[in-house]
């Protein structure tokens, strides 16, 4: 089972790398703008995606200038030079879409990371349409087939964390180049 999961998860990572590499670089440029201008990058994750917030803020390599978007139950007041990044499982998750619309209304440029929009979700408000940059995590179903025909092991957090790490590595590279100039 673990070998199947590993093989399939590697496939998800490769799909993100192949299909989303340019978008990840766009996201990194957007976030690096805030940091180069001495602004903040605010981060928020919905449901299981709170794990990425913990990694970003309390992990071994926190990004200087990254802060939580919410202080308790209240959203911080972002400035024009600030940016945000939000993580959700689904591009049509109601709370995530509401936050995206709020950020858009406040003129805060932001990145959204979630599953892509499915055919059934077409026409609904979604992160891919609202965000300045949207990254599709490519995790749409469980990776391991079960005997009854269902699937287990939907790696939404793992895929989103992979995308996050790609963004942060690119941000670091952009900022190093900026400081060298």
Write out the E strands in the chain: 41-45, 66-68, 70-71, 74-75, 83-87, 110-114, 133-136, 144-145, 151-152
pLDDT tens sequence for the chain (181 residues): 899 999 999 999 999 999 999 999 999 999 999 999 999 999 999 999 999 999 999 999 999 999 999 998 999 999 989 999 999 999 999 999 999 999 999 999 999 999 999 888 899 999 999 999 999 999 999 999 999 999 999 999 999 999 999 999 999 999 999 888 7
Domain segments of the chain: what residues?
Answer: 2-180
Topology of the domain covering 2-180: Rossmann fold (3.40.50)
Token pair 């940059």 is found at 133
């Amino acid at each position: 089972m673990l070998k199947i999961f590993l093989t399939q998860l590697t496939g998800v990572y490769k799909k993100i790398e192949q299909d989303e590499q340019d978008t990840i670089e766009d996201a990194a440029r957007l976030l690096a703008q805030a940091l180069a201008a001495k602004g903040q990058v605010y981060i928020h994750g919905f449901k299981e995606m709170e794990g990425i917030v913990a990694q970003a803020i309390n992990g071994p390599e926190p990004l200087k200038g990254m802060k939580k978007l919410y202080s308790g139950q209240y959203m911080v007041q972002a400035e024009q030079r600030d940016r945000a990044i939000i993580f959700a499982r689904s591009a049509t998750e109601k709370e995530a879409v509401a936050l995206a619309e709020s950020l858009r209304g406040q003129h805060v440029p932001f990145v959204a990371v979630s599953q892509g929009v499915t055919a059934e979700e077409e026409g609904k408000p979604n992160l891919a349409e609202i965000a300045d940059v949207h990254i599709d995590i490519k995790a749409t179903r469980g990776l391991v087939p079960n005997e009854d025909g269902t699937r287990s092991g939907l790696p939404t957090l793992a895929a989103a964390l992979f995308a996050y790490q790609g963004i942060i590595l690119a941000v670091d590279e952009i900022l190093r180049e900026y400081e060298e100039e």
